[in-house]
Structure 1
Amino acid sequence: MTSIKKNHVVNCINYANENRLFDKLNNIYKSLPSGDCSGCGNCCMESVGTNLIEFINIYNYLENKPELKKMCLDKIIDYYFLEYIDKKPCPFKDKDNRCMIYEVRPLNCRLFGHWKKEDYNKNLSNVTQRNREYRDLIKSKYGFDISDKVVNYKIEYCETFIPQERYLEKSERLEFADNLMILDSNIYSKGIIDINFKDRGIVEYFIESLLKEDTAYNIKVRVSKDKNVRNRAINRLKKILL
């Protein structure tokens, strides 16, 4: 069972500041090509994969904005515990389709739209197939069905985004991701955070900062199965955690 203890996150933030890792992260962000986005918010519909350095950067940003932090955590809890039954938008998206953490949004958000259509749709097909395989695993293991709406939901290729110069090749997108991995490795190698390295979405990072991973997942499975306990369980968690 793993969790992201608050003092470990604080230690990571201090280490990142002392070693200018946030500056390096921002320099990577600044090196990304720009583009013309309509701001429709159609792409802001999932817990995007996020690096550790990005999580602690977002965490640090929210620590200085307590009201925003509480609002985001409230929506994060809903997103995580209702994920199998209801397709909700990214918890950092407000009612006007604006990103509430736009200044510190993750790399995956910044790269959206910079894909060639062929590459994007191929990746989308792989994601849908993995979702269906995971649905079958959950059915066999816990005996309930993840909503078809959730399993088959697709963020379609954005036809309106216009890159400033050209679409990025896969190797170029991976190079940006590799640069973030180097920053992550710098933190992990110091042993200042007690979590396993694995792919996580931004929602999972925040949930693990509130609850042990196994505890959170067990609750998620139970509330997903039983409609009668769902709202009570989520409201109780919010009272305890927020």
Structure 2
Amino acid sequence: MTSIKKKDILNCIDYCKQNKLFDKLNKVYSNVPSGDCAGCGNCCMESVGINLIEFINIFEYLNENKELRKKSLSNVIDYYFLEFTKKSACPFKDEDNRCLIYEVRPLNCRLFGHWKKEDYNKNLSNVTQRNIEYNKIVKSKYGFDISNEVVNYKIKYCEDFIPQNDYLSKSDRLGFADELMTLDSNIYSKGIIDIEFKDRGIVEYFIDYFFNEDVSYSIKIRVTKDEDVREIAINRLKKILL
């Protein structure tokens, strides 16, 4: 059984449409200040954290374009199961550095560039330290090291992005996040989806849609440790799932 059931997602989509939660989500998005972005795609290099309402919104968007769905989710599978061996770009970035889901891109993507440099670099240091600690846990439990490229990869502060007005303060950024948490709480409180409330990246949401969490992680460990089965296993998963 998967961690996130398809019938629950479909029920959530219906609920969000009936109660205009997607409209409320888009209103939050529209209030994020704009800025001048060079479009280099250097920031699109991770499984960015998203909210439940955002996952449901992206799921519905992909359902309306089957070709885009297959391409994107194939990239998602590659990203997740190769995550310990190499650093990959966001699975929703194409070969021309364009976002495949730009219209429904998550809040964290919209906020990138709006940070003050000192705030951003402080957060970046915390992320790197968490990566180092997680690598120690994996090494102790499974006997291998996550690739140094992955552990030490940093999405550098963007000097080229020019915000519309001024940079957002931490409280401003958290204010947008709180609004999405309120929308999430509305969905959870109705009991229409049976998943654990926790932080997930966009990749992890879709992987939990495909698999039970323990199963997907077990496969990930196996293909990381056994290079001979890696390509065969991943291609087989794609044939089954897509």
TM-score grouping bracket, smaller chain normalisation? over 0.9
Contact 2:38 2:160 in 1 (8 A): yes
Length-normalised TM-score, structure 2: 0.99
**Aligned-partner Cα distance in 2 for 1:70–1:193:** 24
Once superposed, which parts of structure 1, at least 4 consecutive aligned residues long, lie more than 3 Å away? none
Segments of 5+ residues of structure 2 without an aligned counterpart are none
**Aligned-partner Cα distance in 2 for 1:234–1:117:** 39
Superposition map of 1:175-186 within 5 A = 175-186=175-186
Contact 1:2 1:195 in 2 (8 A): no
**Aligned-partner Cα distance in 2 for 1:133–1:2:** 28
Paired residue secondary structure (2:15): helix
Supply the AA of the counterpart residue of 1:193: I
**Aligned-partner Cα distance in 2 for 1:7–1:93:** 28
Tell me how far 1:191 sits from its aligned partner. 1.0
Q: Which residue of 1 aligns with 2:28?
A: 28
Q: Which residue of 2 aligns with 1:56?
A: 56
Length-normalised TM-score, structure 1: 0.99
Contact 1:43 1:155 in 2 (8 A): yes
Q: Which residue of 2 aligns with 1:12?
A: 12
Tell me how far 1:194 sits from its aligned partner. 1.1
Supply the AA of the counterpart residue of 1:94: D
**Aligned-partner Cα distance in 2 for 1:54–1:126:** 25
Q: Which residue of 1 aligns with 2:104?
A: 104
Aligned residues: percent identity? Answer: 73
Q: Which residue of 2 aligns with 1:118?
A: 118
Tell me how far 1:2 sits from its aligned partner. 5.8
Supply the AA of the counterpart residue of 1:185: S
**Aligned-partner Cα distance in 2 for 1:2–1:190:** 21
Supply the AA of the counterpart residue of 2:223: V
**Aligned-partner Cα distance in 1 for 2:10–2:190:** 14
Paired residue secondary structure (2:88): coil
Superposition map of 1:164-183 within 5 A = 164-183=164-183
Supply the AA of the counterpart residue of 1:149: E
Q: Deviations over 1:100-132 (max 9, x none)?
A: 000000000000000000000000000000000
Tell me how far 1:50 sits from its aligned partner. 0.3
Q: Deviations over 1:164-221 (max 9, x none)?
A: 1100000000000000000000001111111100000000000111111111011001
Contact 2:4 2:208 in 1 (8 A): yes
Segments of 5+ residues of structure 1 without an aligned counterpart are none
Q: RMSD between aligned alpha carbons?
A: 0.8
**Aligned-partner Cα distance in 2 for 1:2–1:163:** 41
Tell me how far 1:146 sits from its aligned partner. 0.2
Contact 2:2 2:209 in 1 (8 A): no
Give the count of matched residue pairs: 242
Q: Which residue of 2 aligns with 1:86?
A: 86
Q: Which residue of 2 aligns with 1:69?
A: 69
Paired residue secondary structure (1:139): helix
**Aligned-partner Cα distance in 2 for 1:66–1:215:** 26
